[in-house]
Amino acid sequence: MHPSCRNILNKCDTLMLDMDGTLLDLAYDSFIWLDLVPKEYAKKMNMSLGDATAQLYKHFMSLQGTLKWYSSDYWSELLDLDIIKLHQMERDKIQYLTGAEEFLNLIKTYDIRVLLVTNAHNDILKLKSEVIGIDQYFDQVYISHDFGAPKESQLFWKKLSNAEPFDIKRTVFVDDNEIVLDSAKQFGIKSLIQITKPDSKQKQQIAKNYLGVKGVLELIE
C-alpha cells in the first residue's frame, strides 16, 4: 500500500472509479485508435498510413476532452468506418489492469457505495461488459454521454451530483486523466488519486499534482 493511501477508504462513503486506464488496460483502446483505425481509414481513403495518421491526429487534437472525442457514433460518421465493429474485431484484447479485478472483489467487503464514472460511449461500455463483466461490480454506473457533458466539464459533475448525491469530503475519485482530476478538484472533491500505469504496454507515468498509484489494488494492499 502507498503510505498516503493508508485508511483513505476507511474515511470514504462513495468511491468513484473511472473505467479505461483505471480498471481496464488502456492498451486495448490505444491499439484501436492509434493502430487499427488509422490503417482502416488509410485503406478506405486510398492514402498512405502516414497521411491517414496525420489527418486523424488533427481531428483527435481538436476534439480531445470533448464529448465528441468519446463518441463512437461521431467517429463512425466522420470517418465512415464502423467503429464498434473494429472494437468487436479485437475484443480479445479487452482485459483488466493488473490487480483491478481483485480490487473490485475486495471492495465489496467495504461499506462503501462504489460507482463507475466513465466517459466511454454506451456501446463501448456494453461491449466491455459483455466480454469481462465489468458492470457487475458497481452499485451504479454513470456515463458522461447520458449527462451531455464529459468529466472534463463542471456540468458533468453538477449533473452527477444531482443524480447521485455524495459528500465531496467523503468521496474518493480515481482516474488516470489529470485533466479529469482537475475538473473533479474544481468541483470540490477532496480525495483524488491518479493511476500511473494505465497502459500495460507503456512506461509508468509520474503523478505530479495528485496522489499516484500504479494500480487500484494499492488502495487496499
- The whole-number pLDDT of residue 1 equals 47
d(CA 14, CA 114): 6
Nearest CA among 211, 163, 161, 154 for reference residue 183 = 154
Calculate the CA 145 to chain-centre distance. 13
Instruction: Please write down the long-range contacts of 26-32, taking CB distance under 8 Å and 24 or more positions apart.
Output: 26/176, 26/198, 26/199, 26/202, 27/93, 27/199, 27/200, 27/201, 27/202, 28/90, 28/93, 28/94, 28/95, 30/199, 30/201, 30/202, 31/90, 31/93, 32/86, 32/87, 32/90
Q: Which CATH topology does 3-26+96-219 take? A: Rossmann fold (3.40.50)
**What are the extents of the domains in the chain?**
3-26+96-219, 28-92
- The whole-number pLDDT of residue 220 equals 87
- The whole-number pLDDT of residue 71 equals 94
- The whole-number pLDDT of residue 6 equals 63
- The whole-number pLDDT of residue 147 equals 97
pTM exceeding 0.85: yes
pLDDT tens digits for the chain (221 residues)? 455 666 788 889 999 999 999 999 999 999 999 999 999 999 999 999 999 999 999 988 889 889 999 999 999 999 999 999 999 999 999 999 999 999 999 999 999 999 999 999 999 999 999 999 999 999 999 999 999 999 999 999 999 999 999 999 999 999 999 999 999 999 999 999 999 999 999 999 999 999 999 999 999 86
Classify residue 141 by its DSSP letter: E
